[in-house]
Structures are given as C-alpha cells and as structure tokens.
C-alpha cells in the first residue's frame, strides 16, 4: 500500500507522517516546499505540488492508494485535494473538524467518488471517527431512536495554529443539527449539563459536531445534535490574526500528554428507553494521527464501500475501536 499526505509540514501533518513511518507504510509527502518536506524525519519520497495546479496534484496522487489531507482551513483549501483524489482514483481521508466541510464532502463529492471507485472519509480525527463508531454501537440496543446526542469533553486542552484557522471557518456559521428530517441551524448557546464518566457534571454548549453529518447517514433519529464542555463561541472570539501569527505551531509534548478527551453518545427511544456509551483517550492530536492512519490503511486495502462513506459503514465499529486500545483509547457501551 502507498499513502500520500498533503500538509505534512503542519503540526497534525507531521504527527500523521510519523505514524505512517512507524507502521512502515510507503509514504509520499506532498506540499509547496520540497526542502521543508525533505527535512521531516523519516521522509524518503517527497514532491512539490501546489493547490492551484490541479494537473500536478492528480499526477502526484496517481499510484497512491490513499491520501490524507491535513490542510487547514479545509473549507477554503480542501477542494483541490478531494478533486485530485477522485481524478487519480485515490481514496481520501482528512483531519478536518469543520462541520460544513464534512457536509459538503457528502453532498457534492460523494456521487463523483462512487463513480470513480473511490472512498471519501472526512473528519478522521480523535472525535470524528470514534464519535461515529460509538454512536453506531450505542443505538444497536434500541429498536427505534428518537434522539441521539453527542457530548464532547476536552480537558486540559490546547490547540494548534491549524485548529485556530479551522475555528474561524466553524464560527462563520451556526451549528447544524438534524431535526425532523432535515439539517437546521441552531443557536450556539448553553445546553443542559453533561455527566462525564471521569470528570463529573460539566456545563455544555451546542457545537457543530462534524460527526453528526456521518451519523445521520446510518442512524435514523428525529434529533441528532452535539454539545461540548467548552464555550467555543467565547474562545473563538479571542482568536485574531495576531494571536494565530504569534501562537506556536501546536501544543508542546507536555501539553499533549496532559490533555484528555471523551466523546459520549446518548440515545433515547420514543418509549423513554436510553442507551449510552463513550470513547476516551489522551492527547487529541496524537490520537487524531492514530485514527487518520488507521482509517487510511483500512481504506488503502480497497475493501470499503465507495463514495462518501460513514466510518460505521466502512468498518466494523468494535473492531476499529479495539485497534486503538493499545494506544490508550478506550470505549464502553452502557452506563
């Protein structure tokens, strides 16, 4: 199998590259600066390409089984890479957390990808894939789902420069929630407190959870929505161009080790029966690299359905989640 990375010189891209190298995957690093790419530890195969040259992108991806896009913000920069992947018959994974971008992948690119025999999987992140998978496992015990709520908990977290850029795109639109058979914009205000397994009751705010877009493709529910224990609206309002320029590329190793995350899936049936499960881990950025590479390796084997495919339909959920356990990512279904 051969994998390509676009955006390998960024903070998340370097972690993804390191994980591919650790697994001894034949890896092509793509980006504007060939010298910077060559300086990445473990780099053997690099190629200079730009987003404004579609033909060079397609040529670069031919022969690769999968490309992992780590550009940010994806809403502004992601389209050329998706288009090139489809044209080159190369499966596509990205590390976006931008909900509107994930929806666009499904709405605009899925049919083209299916015709080309390509699988697209956006938001292969610490929350995007595990959130979709735990939701799929939780609803299995209910004959019918009335509501499905995803709760994100981040503890001792700090963010990269690329995430700051993505937050700018996220904050430009209201969160989408699935309500009564359609996507509706909802306010980003406070919601009921959420009880997290290790951290107890936390205040919560509505967020544009990227996993909602994929979950709706395989879970029939009247309502699907997401919350987070951090007030993203307040945090995003403090992120300016000056703050981004002055920020380090990403969290330090100590900060990454100290950070934790939990994603809860909470489902309710029309008769009031409930089901609950969660995924927890440390180091959201390192976990994103693990998830993205695991998804890419599985898609590279060319066994998944084609088109834009939710994780729960591309993989066996418990098997995928269990593959992450050696790296400290655990899951549980049941209260």
Strand partners, 184: 177
How far is it, in rounded angstroms, from Cα 95 to Cα 163?
10
Identify the pLDDT of residue 176. 95
- The string of pLDDT tens digits covering residues 117-169 is 999 999 999 999 999 999 999 999 999 999 999 999 999 877 776 777 666 66
pLDDT of residue 129: 98
pLDDT of residue 239: 66
Helices (H) and strands (E) in the chain, counts: 16, 16
Has this prediction a pTM greater than 0.85?
yes
**Domain 2-125+288-317 adopts which CATH fold?**
Rossmann fold (3.40.50)
Topology of the domain covering 128-284+327-333: Dihydrodipicolinate Reductase; domain 2 (3.30.360)
Six-digit token string for 98: 């931008």
H or E segment at 236? helix 232-237
Contact 196, 153 (CB under 8 A): yes
| Domain coordinates in residue numbering, the chain | 2-125+288-317, 128-284+327-333
Q: What whole-number distance in Å separates Cα of residue 62 and Cα of residue 53? A: 15
Q: What is the pLDDT of residue 251?
A: 85
The CA distance from 182 to 206, in Å, is: 17
Q: Provide CB contacts within 8 A for 125, sequence distance 6+.
A: 95, 96, 97, 210, 284, 288, 291, 292
Q: Which pLDDT does position 46 carry in this prediction?
A: 96
Partnered with residue 98 across adjacent β-strands are none
CA distances from 12 to 158, 290, 292, 293 (A): 13, 11, 10, 12
Listed as ranges, residues in the chain with pLDDT below 50 are none
pLDDT digits (tens, 9 = 90+) for 159-202: 776 777 666 666 677 899 999 999 999 988 899 999 999 899 99
What element of type H or E holds 56?
Answer: helix 54-61
Cite the beta strand spans of the chain per DSSP E: 2-6, 26-31, 45-48, 66-69, 91-94, 119-121, 145-155, 176-179, 182-185, 190-196, 200-206, 221-228, 260-268, 274-282, 307-308, 330-333
Model pLDDT, residue 235: 60
Q: Identify the residue whose tokens are 């709520």.
A: 149
CA dihedral (314, 206, 76, 217) in degrees, to 10, reads 20
């Amino acid at each position: 199998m051969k994998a390509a990375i676009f955006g390998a010189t960024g903070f998340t891209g370097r972690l993804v590259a390191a994980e591919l190298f650790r697994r001894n995957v034949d890896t092509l690093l793509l980006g504007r600066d060939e010298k910077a790419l060559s300086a990445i530890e473990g780099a053997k195969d690099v190629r200079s390409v730009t987003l404004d040259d579609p033909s060079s992108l397609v040529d670069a991806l031919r022969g690769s089984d999968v490309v992992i896009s780590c550009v940010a913000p994806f809403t502004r920069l992601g389209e050329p890479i998706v288009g090139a992947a489809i044209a080159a018959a190369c499966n596509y994974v990205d590390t976006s957390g931008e909900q509107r971008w994930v929806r666009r992948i499904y709405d605009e690119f899925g049919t083209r990808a299916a015709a080309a025999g390509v699988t697209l999987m956006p938001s292969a992140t610490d929350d995007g894939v595990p959130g979709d998978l735990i939701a799929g496992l939780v609803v299995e015990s209910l004959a019918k789902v009335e509501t499905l709520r995803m709760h994100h908990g981040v503890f001792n977290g700090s963010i990269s420069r690329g995430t700051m850029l993505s937050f700018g795109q996220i904050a430009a639109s209201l969160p989408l929630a699935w309500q009564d058979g359609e996507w509706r914009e909802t306010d980003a205000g406070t919601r009921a407190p959420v009880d997290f397994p290790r951290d107890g009751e936390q205040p919560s705010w509505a967020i544009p959870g990227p996993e909602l877009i994929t979950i709706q493709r395989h879970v029939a529910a009247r309502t699907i929505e997401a919350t987070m224990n951090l007030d993203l609206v307040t945090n995003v309002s403090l992120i300016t161009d000056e703050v981004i320029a002055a920020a380090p590329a990403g969290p330090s190793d100590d900060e990454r080790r100290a950070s934790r995350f939990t994603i809860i899936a909470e489902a309710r049936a029309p008769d009031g029966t409930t089901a609950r499960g969660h995924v927890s881990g440390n180091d959201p950025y390192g976990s994103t690299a693990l998830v993205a590479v695991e998804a890419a390796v599985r898609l590279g084997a060319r066994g998944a359905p084609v088109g834009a495919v939710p994780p729960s339909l591309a993989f066996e959920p418990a098997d995928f989640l269990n593959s992450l356990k050696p790296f400290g990512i655990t899951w549980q279904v049941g209260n």
